[in-house]
């Protein structure tokens, strides 16, 4: 078996977190890893200076789903052209296995793996609704993995073990965290500022990830309110902030959701309403149906309901339930399955 594996995909933090976990798992087993992503999105920010990687390629490709007319045709032709470039990479390093974590960044390398007869494509679908690229490549894959879908031979999620190592059962509400994802979330930022004065009166400390674009505004609003909140724009090591919290308000992208589960952190989810196929809502609903989270759409946000929840947040029962919902070693099990053939 070739000791070099290609990992492709990204665009957003959710896809890139999965890529990051797979890179670690493969490196720990003595494999060399080549990463193929895009110049768009966050791929470069995550992996351009990553010393774990044998090689990294960032292609000038972009998404197709929301484009029309000539723009869509151009994007498709560009993806195909870059797939031929990726095919040369796969042949140069005699690649036998390509792992796609989805997103438009994965398109060219995924298609190249299909073109190469002696190469197998594996994919990971993070969300409750299958992404556009994964839906198109699913029938060409050797195996596909997901925590939500029955096609997966292993229904577990590859969360970095550090989230499990720092997990704790919460029993008292002293600190609340607001996480809007790597890009921030205006709805969560505004909601946090509305509830902050009462939280401050209750003696509850606030930790708040704003996203880069809204950092200064939110920071200044807290200063005007006279509240000493821990406000930051973005952190790759969100665990350091997460472990302080006893309760969380968050978007429900799959990676964030499962990291919160692994850390046993009870959460009030506010899904991003424009997410493709409303997948963030359905991600959170999988927990909500088991009484393991709180869930409300951003257009229906009710401050009174929020504080009713905080009166009796049921922290301990939810924390214990989350501990049983997801187990460590998801990445190990998936990589075991990929490498066994």
Contact 252, 285 (CB under 8 A): no
> Is 127 annotated as belonging to a binding site?
yes
Q: What is the DSSP letter of 103?
A: S
What number of other Cβ atoms are within 10 A of residue 28's Cβ? Answer: 11
Q: Using CB atoms within 10 A of its CB, is residue 269 exposed (0-12), middle (13-18) or buried (19+)?
A: buried
E strands, 166-246, in order: 175-179, 205-209, 230-232
Copy the structure tokens of residue 69.
């007319």
* β partners of residue 100: 8, 123
> Is 333 annotated as belonging to a binding site?
no
> Is 280 annotated as belonging to a binding site?
yes
> Is 61 annotated as belonging to a binding site?
no
Copy the structure tokens of residue 59.
């292609």
> Is 13 annotated as belonging to a binding site?
yes
The rounded distance, in Å, linking the Cα atoms of 106 and 46 is: 15
Annotated binding site for UDP-N-acetyl-alpha-D-glucosamine: 12-14, 127, 182, 280
Residues annotated within the binding site are 12-14, 127, 182, 280
């Amino acid at each position: 078996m070739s000791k070099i594996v290609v990992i492709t995909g990204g665009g957003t933090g959710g896809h890139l977190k999965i890529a990051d976990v797979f890179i670690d798992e493969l490196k720990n087993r003595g494999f060399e890893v080549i990463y193929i992503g895009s110049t768009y999105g966050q791929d470069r920010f995550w992996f351009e200076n990553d010393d774990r990687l044998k090689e990294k390629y960032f292609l000038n490709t972009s998404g197709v789903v929301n484009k029309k007319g000539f723009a869509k045709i151009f994007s498709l032709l560009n993806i195909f052209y870059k797939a031929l470039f990726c095919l040369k990479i796969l042949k140069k390093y005699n690649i036998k296995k390509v792992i796609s974590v989805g997103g438009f960044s994965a398109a060219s390398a995924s298609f190249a793996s299909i073109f190469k007869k002696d190469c197998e494509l594996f994919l990971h679908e993070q969300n409750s609704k299958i992404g556009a690229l994964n839906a198109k490549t699913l029938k060409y894959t050797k195996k596909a993995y997901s925590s939500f879908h029955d096609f997966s031979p292993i229904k577990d999620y590859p969360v970095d073990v550090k989230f499990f190592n720092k997990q704790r059962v919460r029993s008292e509400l002293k600190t609340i965290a607001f996480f809007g994802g790597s890009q921030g979330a205006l709805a969560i930022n505004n909601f946090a500022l509305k509830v902050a004065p009462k939280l401050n009166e209750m003696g509850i400390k606030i930790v708040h990830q704003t996203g880069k674009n809204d950092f200064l505004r939110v920071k200044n609003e807290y200063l005007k309110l006279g509240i000493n909140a821990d406000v930051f724009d973005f952190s790759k090591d969100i665990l350091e902030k997460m472990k302080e919290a006893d309760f969380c308000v968050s978007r429900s992208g799959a990676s964030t959701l499962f990291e919160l589960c692994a850390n046993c952190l009870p959460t009030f989810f506010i899904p991003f309403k424009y997410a493709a196929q409303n997948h963030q809502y359905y991600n959170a609903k999988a927990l909500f149906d088991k009484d393991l989270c709180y869930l409300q759409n951003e257009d229906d946000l009710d401050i009174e309901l929020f504080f009713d929840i905080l009166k009796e947040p049921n922290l301990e029962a939810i924390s214990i339930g989350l501990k049983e919902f997801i187990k460590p070693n998801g990445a190990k099990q998936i990589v075991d399955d990929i490498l066994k053939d």
